[in-house]
Structure 1
Amino acid sequence: MVKKHRTAFHAKEWAIDLYEAATIEEIQQVEKELQIVLPKVYKEFLSVSNGMHGNLAQLYSTDGLIEMNKTYEVQRYAPGYVSVGNDNGGYHLLMRAVENAVNFQLVSDGYCVPTENDITDNFLSWLDSDEGDPWRNE
């Protein structure tokens, strides 16, 4: 269960709710259940806030990572990727399921296979953006 609280983790205008940090065991459980490696930058995010709900985006908690990746069969339709969030409106935020991944792609729910035409951005730069719109490149 994710416990709500506010924190100062790069919380810009668009960040609404951040949560207590995930434990190492919870993060390891995601990798075990999904049989993937989470990107280091996402693990670091989870170690500060176990998920985030914003007005224009949601970043998944450890439980959400398992649920959403299984529900949308991300590893089947986009092997080698993990969905770490969504835009609350039909797009997934996919990252390569490798430790050194730093970029994400914004991919439609209906297609889920990343293409060169998808919006791509650096996860940490996006998270630290003060522009108010996490999909500023769209």
Structure 2
Amino acid sequence: MKISNIKGAVANDAIPSAQLAELQASFHVKLPSPYVEVLNSVGGFSLQNGVVLYSPSDLVERNKTFEVEKYAPAYLAIGDDSGGRSIMLPLAGEGVYLVDQGSMDPDEFKRIGISLTSWIAGGCMI
């Protein structure tokens, strides 16, 4: 995925495969393939529009802090909008969603992309 094509993107280096394996083990689930592709090219990024895709260490911490496993167990919080809303990715299936960090109720998710790949290619619009 070409994060560098997005104007104003500040990206971290891709994560090594050993770190990716540790990350998957910490969640006790297989991470979605499109998300693994992102991690293989960039270990998180931030954009001028406020969108942040978490680094691996932030990913674990944010999912624990927001109790994603408890309130939205079929999802993973992969980033945020720097304004109190999380960017959510289903562990199975397609779509990219936005939800208030105080809720984490899948019934309140707003779809912002049909897939992670297309959402990133479109500039990560919220």
Normalised by the length of structure 1, the TM-score is: 0.80
Detail structure 1 runs of 4+ shifted over 4 Å in the superposition: none
Identity value in percent: 26
* Aligned residue pair count: 123
Q: CA deviation at 1:40?
A: 0.6
| Helix, strand or coil at the partner of 1:115 | helix
Higher helix share: 2
Which consecutive unaligned segments of at least 5 residues does structure 2 have?
Answer: none
> Residues of 2 paired with 1:117 and 1:77: CA distance?
12
Q: CA deviation at 1:11?
A: 2.7
Could you say which residue in structure 2 is the equivalent of 1:77? 71
Q: CA deviation at 1:10?
A: 4.8
Deviation per residue, 1:77-134 (Å, 9 max, x gap): 1111110110011111111123xx331110110111212662341211111115xx61
Which consecutive unaligned segments of at least 5 residues does structure 1 have?
Answer: 1-7
Aligned residue type for 2:97: Q
The aligned runs of 1:11-90 (5 Å cut-off) are 11-13=5-7, 15-55=8-48, 56-90=50-84
Could you say which residue in structure 1 is the equivalent of 2:100? 108
> CA, structure 1 residues 45+39, in 2 after alignment: closer, same or farther (shift >3 Å)?
same
CA contact (8 A) 2:3 2:9 kept: no
